[in-house]
Structure 1
């Protein structure tokens, strides 16, 4: 009988530990723009709860869910003690825009150091419009950070974090004819550790009255 009691107490202790290890912090950020308002970005930061910090625990994983609407993620930073994210509504002035982002941060004892392999097979999707392309890559990782650099104007013109593995569409404005571009992508899993970055280039030209993108 005593053995059964000890086993029961041990099981209860194990379940308590598992529950503690699975502790999460959840936040939902909602933003909207009215008709006529300009595109806008917002920055958010979520800090590790003081109680968890006192116990020597850290953020070990994050989950991002772009729920209803048109909200996009421009960039993020995941650390053991805080999570930073910059979101944006790339609004069309003639219609109202809104959207939300749900963030779940898991608290644990040790963050995984595993880093995914760099993505490959970077390409512009043939189904996307030339001046509003769809960027594609191959990877088993869910998340990706993408940037687009206008080599003609010598500046970064677009940044996004994708929550759909393998592709993202250019969602704000239009690319320019007779410009050269270089886009880069790196990927990550739930632990927020990003792979090495890889890049590809292309130029926009008009040939025989048709605007096309030419890989470089």
Structure 2
């Protein structure tokens, strides 16, 4: 299926070790691209830390977020990072997100974020000509262009909800593909069941978005 610039593909289940091409991409970049500035903390509510080379530091507004940093939030806390290209990541409570790679100005522009646990919202800058923008969980990889969406990583499933744009969601066990549009979401467990796009009810939608929104 050909995806437009306002669509992404979510494939389940897909462990990080099953993506050698992604790690090959990171290895192909110079050290400056792998270790440089990715963005800065633009807003913070509650308590969060950044893990850099094994050392934990309390997060603060305007703090630099570098490639290979991990952002970790506490309960009832949220952190927003504005990347150098203008894309925005909002990390929800009790979440763990690693900025594994970020190179918007490279010939093969790419970004890779690893959502280890919790929930995060990504608003991708439509003006950036991304060759690849991926958000990964232990069971999924979401390839994104010019859209606003959230992904939640739980031990038993991954969920995706689209606030803007369109999303093609496919199961790795061959259960087919479903295209999500604005307001729709889907839960994928990895079992062989048909994927059905559903408009999320107001309660679920409001609660999910609230977890990745800073007042």
Q: TM-score range by the shorter chain?
A: under 0.3
Counting strand residues as a fraction of each chain, which structure ranks higher?
1
With structure 1 as the length reference, what TM-score do the two structures score? 0.26
Kindly name which structure, 1 or 2, has the bigger radius of gyration based on alpha carbons.
1
With structure 2 as the length reference, what TM-score do the two structures score? 0.26
